[in-house]
Structure 1
Amino acid sequence: MAGAAYTIFDTLMGRCGIAWGDDGVLAVQLADSREIDTRRRLLRQCPDARESRPSAEIAGAIDGIAATLRGAPHDFSDVSLDLGGLPAFDCRVYAAIRAIPRGETATHAELAKRVGSSGALYAVGHAIRRNPFALIVPCHRALATAGDTSGICANGGVITRRRLLAMEGAIAAGGPSLFDVLLTAAPRQPER
């Protein structure tokens, strides 16, 4: 195959996108509210990519992404990533994140230590925010501090991170719903 290619595909979360080249996956874009926005963000990362039918390996990655977004476990360790043009430090961080087992998390400090740069907390955070391989490099498992699920993870957002961690059993799925919050915030009417 000459050049980069991409496709948009259905998941329970919405229409996601994946781009690839000869050396593997170039980017994964989780669903935006509109497909055109998903496509636009993916093409911003891979402007030379042309829409194409996925190879067998990419189809396997797509199936894995869809399964993960349904809450099913999937091992992405056999999915090749095209790391060309990415900083070497980011690549080491992505390798460390890929080693975090499903159902577990690691802090930025732990990841910095794993990549041999224990003082590089901010650099780890920047690498995570730039992660072009959502779910294949499961950045939702990398937390700024233990138990803190806030903060942005590459193109997924806080709500997606919490949902994924809950589906994986890394955090409790409970907590108040929006309806619960509204009920407790509403003024009570006096009983008659």
Structure 2
Amino acid sequence: MSGRAYTIFDTGIGRCGIAWGHDGIVGIQLPETREIETRKRLFQLYPDAREMRPPLNVELAIEGIVALLRGEGCDFSEVTLDMGGIHAFNQRVYQITRAIPRGETLTYGEIAARLGASGAVRSVAQAIARNPFVIVVPCHRVLDAGGYADNISRHGGVISRRRLLSIEGAGSPGSKTLFDVLLPVAPPRLPG
């Protein structure tokens, strides 16, 4: 046995799952349509994990995820992630993504530029798509060059980026979600 475990927990958007090992959290699963499908996805990703009561590090993550999905602020800085087996480039992408403040977004290109690898936009997009730490590493805050918020990583269940950004109240200058495109804000009225 690998020493991996998981638990399922309630949030404002459904029952999520989280898996961990000796070195920290190995994955987070947002809700699928039904809890049984969330469990099935966790089993596919972590077939050796057993359902257990979470340790303190995992409890901190769960509390933060629940708070964020209620639209509240949270701090994941004390949450330990197990990056073993994750490519070094992806780890750097996740480090930058983890630092994006709530309510703000970056594009794949902006992350590539921060890495000093402006030609690596496709690699950044692939890293984001493979993010096993959704919410803690907020891949929903990373958009394509058009700024559109569509789907989420393979661990995203049925929840879209746009819904997560809406819960967080994203809408900083320069960031654009699908809501902004479909329902543009009227320009401010000038006095006169």
Please say which of residues 4-13 and 147-156 is displaced more in the overlay.
147-156
Q: Secondary structure in 2 aligned to 1:70?
A: coil
Residue 157 to residue 141, structure 1, CA distance change in 2 (3 Å): farther
The aligned residue for residue 76 of structure 2 is 76
List runs of 5+ in structure 1 lacking aligned partners: 177-192
Give 1:81's aligned amino acid: L
The aligned residue for residue 147 of structure 2 is 147
For residues 60-89 of structure 1, the C-alpha deviation after alignment (integer angstroms, 9 at most, x for no partner) is 111111111111111112111000011111
Q: Which one has the bigger helix percentage?
A: 1
The aligned residue for residue 188 of structure 1 is none
**Contact 2:151-2:160 at 8 Å conserved across structures:** no
**Contact 2:30-2:159 at 8 Å conserved across structures:** no
**Aligned-residue offset at 1:167:** 2.5
Give 1:116's aligned amino acid: G
**Aligned-residue offset at 1:107:** 0.5
Quick one: distance in 1 between partners of 2:158 and 2:52? Answer: 31
Residue 53 to residue 159, structure 1, CA distance change in 2 (3 Å): closer
Give 2:87's aligned amino acid: P
The aligned residue for residue 13 of structure 1 is 13
**Contact 2:19-2:28 at 8 Å conserved across structures:** yes
Please say which of residues 6-15 and 133-142 is displaced more in the overlay.
6-15
**Contact 1:67-1:73 at 8 Å conserved across structures:** yes
**Contact 1:149-1:158 at 8 Å conserved across structures:** no
Residue 20 to residue 11, structure 1, CA distance change in 2 (3 Å): same
Quick one: distance in 2 between partners of 1:114 and 1:10? Answer: 35
The aligned residue for residue 170 of structure 2 is 170
**Contact 1:104-1:141 at 8 Å conserved across structures:** yes
Q: Secondary structure in 1 aligned to 2:160?
A: helix
Quick one: distance in 2 between partners of 1:42 and 1:159? Answer: 16
Please say which of residues 39-48 and 27-36 is displaced more in the overlay.
39-48
Q: Secondary structure in 2 aligned to 1:111?
A: helix
Residue 76 to residue 11, structure 1, CA distance change in 2 (3 Å): same
Identity of aligned residues (%): 56
Quick one: distance in 2 between partners of 1:158 and 1:125? Answer: 19
Q: How does 1:89-168 map to 2 (within 5 A)?
A: 89-156=89-156, 160-168=160-168
**Contact 1:150-1:158 at 8 Å conserved across structures:** no
For residues 109-145 of structure 1, the C-alpha deviation after alignment (integer angstroms, 9 at most, x for no partner) is 0101112221011111111111000100000000012
Quick one: distance in 2 between partners of 1:162 and 1:48? Answer: 33
Residue 147 to residue 124, structure 1, CA distance change in 2 (3 Å): same
Residue 151 to residue 32, structure 1, CA distance change in 2 (3 Å): closer
* Greater C-alpha Rg: 1
List runs of 5+ in structure 2 lacking aligned partners: 172-176, 184-192
Q: Number of aligned pairs?
A: 176
**Aligned-residue offset at 1:157:** 6.5
RMSD: 2.1
**Contact 2:139-2:152 at 8 Å conserved across structures:** no
Give 1:63's aligned amino acid: E
**Contact 1:7-1:18 at 8 Å conserved across structures:** yes
